[in-house]
């Protein structure tokens, strides 16, 4: 079975990494569905047994890279979405407010269920898409976006690192719990890429884009290679038919 | 022969003011006592009907205060569930003026209730805002922190507002016997457990409501001597009465007391205005046309008509004053610029890797 991995901009590092490793004769490729900015609005729909993208950019990219307007049942789909926590952690709100459990004096305490609701607001449409994919009977697995970088705007500057780490951990936990309930396999980041505090190790930061502009957000090709190695290792044990075509 | 009725305007007579006129076209039913401009800092509280008033002020770009705004990352369809975006703070429905006075007395430290937490199945509820946190707070400590923050924000509200809008909802309520603390709902309905040794029904009289209203006015003007007030009475009948009476006369009693208090305050103070939302929905010339089939909930066209009368009255005779279309919700410009910059980085990353 062909393996196609899609997701937000974090798939760029995965693609760069994939090019540097042995794919073990797997027919596997990666493509971007579009910026993560669209993940917080409805972007997919289930119709007549199939999953389509209702977001035009996502739909056009699916068509461009797979020649289909829907997610084909002949493909095992890897989704790199849902654990992109920088959107939550860098929000200016957390400069003045903190989760109640760890709230510093002078900050607005935010109750746990409110934090969960904020996380749910961020993740719900990705979750909706994954539920639709299961409904459509598609083979689907999720691979984690890279761990949060401490260079992301606000993180460690306006927003305390402890707060960012708390939010990141809660968001990931909530998402993984959802995947477990839906029986969707999850491939976590390589342990050696994560600091003790849960952030991306600095050596895996992409400091500059290919254009040379500063990048405070993405992981580099070395991270991508390690992550794709984990994906391939998982695929070796997963119950998916092999197809020995050249990718 | 002449008398004081000769020369009165048409609005003073039942025939010309009501029965010969469409109920959608009552003239001069509301003549504002003072102007409310888009610079006026407006705070609002009250029962469920009052939420509509706040929404309309916001939609029309008035300077509506909210000292406990919703987190940016919380989806708008979840705001009300968590008590956000309803009034000027996260206090939920304030049904009685006793509750209102009490809230600000707690904020300034002059009243500390004895009972501050209800526990149920390992979750914790605020007796004074039982519906504010769906499923309750995770711990007593979390509840106490939330209350402390809430009251700190309430302490600022009176000093910041130029105009306080309050919709009087009910005269019936429940109190804690230990300290006479007014509860927004009967324990055991939304949260808590009813215990007749701890809680009692109270139906506020005209003099009690009047005293509470004047206490609130005094408290507010102590912080802000120029504060003005706009009072209305909710047209929504009682869901149920614990008075022992039939719910219909119980409702009429309640609304009559509240309406009489508003009338008295309106006459007594030049800085208190009264807007007849009650009359515009619930009085018999309106033929109950603005109620839902349950004759209790106000339908949205009714809310719209009431607010149209309000804003048209305030804009009357102001050259060039036009109804402003509701603007799309916009975050602060700075935040949008930052988000755009971040999105650019992500778009670039995709283009660079996959664009070739």
The answer to whether residue A90 neighbours chain B at the CB level (below 8 Å) is yes
Yes or no, beta carbons of B353 and A15 under 8 Å apart: yes
The answer to whether residue A16 neighbours chain B at the CB level (below 8 Å) is yes
Structure tokens at A160: 């305390």
Determine the pLDDT at residue B330: 38
Yes or no, beta carbons of A111 and B146 under 8 Å apart: yes
Structure tokens at B337: 């610029």
Q: Which helix (H) or strand (E) holds B267?
A: helix B247-268
The answer to whether residue B135 neighbours chain A at the CB level (below 8 Å) is yes
Q: Which residue of B74, B138, B346 is in closest CB contact with A117?
A: B74
Q: What is the mean pLDDT of the segment spanning B227-232?
A: 97
Strands B182-183 and B118-120: unpaired
Q: Does position A214 have pLDDT exceeding 80, yes or no? A: yes
Q: Which residue of A15, A35, A97 is in closest CB contact with B71?
A: A97
d(CA A194, CA A175): 18
Yes or no, beta carbons of A35 and B350 under 8 Å apart: yes
Determine the pLDDT at residue B319: 57
Q: Does position B327 have pLDDT exceeding 60, yes or no? A: no
The residues, any chain, with a CB within 8 Å of residue A207's CB and separated by 6 or more, are: A214, A215
Nearest CA of chain A to the CA of B107: how many Å?
16
**ipTM score here?**
0.90
Q: Which helix (H) or strand (E) holds B145?
A: helix B140-160
pLDDT digits (tens, 9 = 90+) for A27-51: 999 999 998 889 999 999 999 999 9
Nearest to B187 by CA among B179, B195, B240: B195
Share of chain B above pLDDT 90, in %: 80
- Phi, psi for residue A175 in degrees, rounded to 5: -70, -40
Q: What is the mean pLDDT of the segment spanning A157-181?
A: 95
The answer to whether residue B149 neighbours chain A at the CB level (below 8 Å) is yes
- Report which DSSP code applies to A145: P
Q: What is the mean pLDDT of the segment spanning B230-257?
A: 95
Nearest CA of chain A to the CA of B148: how many Å?
9
Structure tokens at B257: 């007391």
The answer to whether residue B137 neighbours chain A at the CB level (below 8 Å) is yes
The answer to whether residue B335 neighbours chain A at the CB level (below 8 Å) is yes
Q: What is the DSSP string of A148-203?
A: PPTTSTTBTTTB-HHHHHHHHHHHHHHHHHHHHHHT--EEPPPGGGB-TTSSBPGG
CB B46 within 8 A of CB B169: yes
CB A9 within 8 A of CB B347: yes
CB A134 within 8 A of CB A73: no
The answer to whether residue B71 neighbours chain A at the CB level (below 8 Å) is yes
Residues 30-69 of A with CB under 8 A from B: 31-32, 34-37, 40
Between A145 and B347, residue with greater pLDDT:
A145
For chain A, the average pLDDT equals 92
Determine the pLDDT at residue B342: 65
Q: Which residue of B82, B346, B353 is in closest CB contact with A114?
A: B82
CB B138 within 8 A of CB B125: no
pLDDT band of A238, cuts 50, 70, 90: confident
Residues 164-193 of A with CB under 8 A from B: none
Structure tokens at B54: 């706040």
B contacts of A219 (beta carbons < 8 Å): none
CA atoms A160, A166, A171, A172: torsion sign: positive
3-state secondary structure of A6: strand
CB B88 within 8 A of CB B44: yes
Nearest CA in chain A to B150: A108
Q: What is the mean pLDDT of the segment spanning B193-198?
A: 95
pLDDT band of A24, cuts 50, 70, 90: confident
Ranges assigned E (strand) in chain A: 2-7, 28-32, 44-47, 50-53, 75-80, 97-99, 108-110, 139-143, 186-187
Distance of CA B99 to the CA centre of its chain: 12
- Report which DSSP code applies to B27: T
Yes or no, beta carbons of B342 and A15 under 8 Å apart: no
Ranges assigned E (strand) in B59-98: none
pTM: 0.90
Yes or no, beta carbons of A121 and B335 under 8 Å apart: no
* R_g of chain B computed on alpha carbons: 23
The answer to whether residue B345 neighbours chain A at the CB level (below 8 Å) is yes
Distance of CA B23 to the CA centre of its chain: 25
3-state secondary structure of B310: helix
pLDDT digits (tens, 9 = 90+) for B17-45: 999 999 998 889 999 999 999 999 999 99
Determine the pLDDT at residue B332: 45
Determine the pLDDT at residue A151: 85
Nearest CA of chain B to the CA of A81: how many Å?
13
Q: Which residues of B130-148 are buried (b: 16+ CB within 10 A; e: fewer)?
A: bbbbeebbbbeebbbbbbe
Nearest to B234 by CA among B179, B143, B302: B302
d(CA A229, CA A105): 44
Q: Which residue of B73, B343, B354 is in closest CB contact with A122?
A: B73
Determine the pLDDT at residue A242: 44
Determine the pLDDT at residue B324: 46
The answer to whether residue A95 neighbours chain B at the CB level (below 8 Å) is no
CB B291 within 8 A of CB B302: yes
Yes or no, beta carbons of B73 and A88 under 8 Å apart: yes
The residues, any chain, with a CB within 8 Å of residue A215's CB and separated by 6 or more, are: A206, A207, A208, A209, B345, B349
3-state secondary structure of A236: helix
Q: Which residue of B82, B335, B349 is in closest CB contact with A9?
A: B349
From residue A64, how far is each of A59, A185, A211, B3 by CA, in Å?
A: 9, 27, 24, 86
For chain B, the average pLDDT equals 90
Q: What is the mean pLDDT of the segment spanning A211-220?
A: 88
d(CA A86, CA A237): 31
**Counting one residue from A and one from B, how many pairs have CB atoms under 8 Å apart?**
109
Share of chain A above pLDDT 70, in %: 97
CB B71 within 8 A of CB B164: no
Nearest CA of chain A to the CA of B351: how many Å?
9
User: What is the number of residues in chain A?
Assistant: 247
Least confident span in A201-210, A237-246, B225-234:
A237-246
CB A147 within 8 A of CB A194: yes
Ranges assigned E (strand) in chain B: 42-46, 118-120, 123-125, 163-168, 172-176, 182-183, 199-203, 228-233, 272-274
3-state helix, strand, coil in chain A (%, to 5): 40, 20, 40
- Report which DSSP code applies to B12: G
Nearest CA of chain B to the CA of A241: how many Å?
27
The answer to whether residue B146 neighbours chain A at the CB level (below 8 Å) is yes
Share of chain B above pLDDT 70, in %: 91
pLDDT digits (tens, 9 = 90+) for A49-86: 999 999 999 999 999 999 999 999 999 999 999 998 99
Strands A139-143 and A75-80: parallel
- Phi, psi for residue B39 in degrees, rounded to 5: -90, -15
Determine the pLDDT at residue A210: 76
pLDDT band of B177, cuts 50, 70, 90: very high
Q: Which residue of A93, A114, A153 is in closest CB contact with B342?
A: A153
Determine the pLDDT at residue A244: 38
d(CA A176, CA A127): 11
Q: What is the mean pLDDT of the segment spanning B203-231?
A: 97
Yes or no, beta carbons of B138 and A215 under 8 Å apart: no
pLDDT digits (tens, 9 = 90+) for B131-171: 999 999 999 999 999 999 999 999 999 999 999 999 999 99
Yes or no, beta carbons of A12 and B146 under 8 Å apart: no
CB B45 within 8 A of CB B94: yes
Yes or no, beta carbons of B74 and A91 under 8 Å apart: no
3-state secondary structure of B286: helix
């Amino acid at each position: 079975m062909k393996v196609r991995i899609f997701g937000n901009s974090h798939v760029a590092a995965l693609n760069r990494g994939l090019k540097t490793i042995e794919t073990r004769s797997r027919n596997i490729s990666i493509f971007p569905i579009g910026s993560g900015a669209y993940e917080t609005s409805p972007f997919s729909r289930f119709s007549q047994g199939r999953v389509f993208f209702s977001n035009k950019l996502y739909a056009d990219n699916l068509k461009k890279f797979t020649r289909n307007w829907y997610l084909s049942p002949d493909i095992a789909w890897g989704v790199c979405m849902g654990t992109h926590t920088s959107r939550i952690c860098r929000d200016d709100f957390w400069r003045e407010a903190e989760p109640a459990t760890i709230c510093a004096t002078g900050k607005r305490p935010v109750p746990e269920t409110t934090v969960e609701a904020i996380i749910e607001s961020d993740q719900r449409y990705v979750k909706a898409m994954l539920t639709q994919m299961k409904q459509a009977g598609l083979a689907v697995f999720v691979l984690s976006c890279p761990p949060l970088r401490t260079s992301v705007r606000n993180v460690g500057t306006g927003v305390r690192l402890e707060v960012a780490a708390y939010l990141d951990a809660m968001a990931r936990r909530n998402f993984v719990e959802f995947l477990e309930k839906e029986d969707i396999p999850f491939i976590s980041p390589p342990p050696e890429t994560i600091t003790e505090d849960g952030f991306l190790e600095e050596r895996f930061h992409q400091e500059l884009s290919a254009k040379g502009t500063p990048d405070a957000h993405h992981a580099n090709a070395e991270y991508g290679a390690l992550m794709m190695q984990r994906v391939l290792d998982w695929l070796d044990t997963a119950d998916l038919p092999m197809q020995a075509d050249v990718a | 022969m002449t008398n004081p009725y000769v020369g009165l305007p048409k609005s003073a007579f039942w025939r010309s003011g009501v029965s010969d006129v469409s109920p959608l076209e009552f003239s001069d039913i509301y003549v504002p006592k003072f102007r409310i401009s888009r610079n006026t800092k407006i705070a609002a509280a009250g029962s469920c009907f009052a939420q509509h008033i706040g929404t309309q002020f916001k939609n029309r770009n008035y300077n509506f205060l909210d000292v406990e705004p919703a987190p940016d990352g919380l989806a708008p369809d979840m705001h009300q569930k968590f008590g956000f975006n309803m009034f000027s703070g996260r206090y939920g429905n304030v049904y009685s003026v006793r509750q209102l006075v009490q809230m600000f007395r707690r904020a300034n430290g002059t009243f500390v209730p004895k009972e501050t937490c209800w526990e149920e199945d390992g979750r914790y509820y605020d007796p004074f805002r039982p519906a504010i946190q769906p499923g309750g707070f995770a711990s007593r400590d979390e509840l106490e922190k939330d209350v402390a923050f809430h009251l700190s924000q309430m302490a600022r509200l009176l000093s910041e507002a130029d105009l306080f809008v309050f919709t009087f909802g009910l005269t019936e309520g429940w109190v804690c016997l230990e300290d006479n603390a007014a509860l927004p709902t009967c324990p055991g309905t939304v949260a808590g457990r009813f215990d007749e040794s701890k809680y009692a029904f109270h139906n506020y009289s005209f003099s009690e409501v009047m005293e509470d209203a004047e206490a609130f006015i005094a408290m507010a003007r102590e912080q802000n001597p120029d504060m003005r007030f706009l009072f209305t009475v909710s047209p929504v009948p009682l869901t149920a009465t614990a008075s022992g009476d039939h719910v219909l006369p119980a409702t009429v009693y309640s609304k009559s007391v509240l309406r009489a208090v508003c009338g008295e305050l309106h006459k007594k103070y030049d800085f208190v205005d009264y807007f007849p939302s009650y009359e515009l929905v619930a009085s018999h010339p309106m033929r109950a046309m603005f109620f839902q089939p349950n004759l209790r909930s106000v339908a949205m066209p009714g809310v719209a008509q009431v607010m149209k009368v309000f804003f048209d009255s305030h804009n009357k005779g102001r050259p060039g004053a036009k109804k402003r279309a509701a603007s799309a919700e916009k975050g602060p410009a700075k935040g949008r610029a930052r988000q755009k910059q971040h999105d650019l980085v992500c778009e670039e990353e995709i283009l660079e890797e996959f664009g070739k």
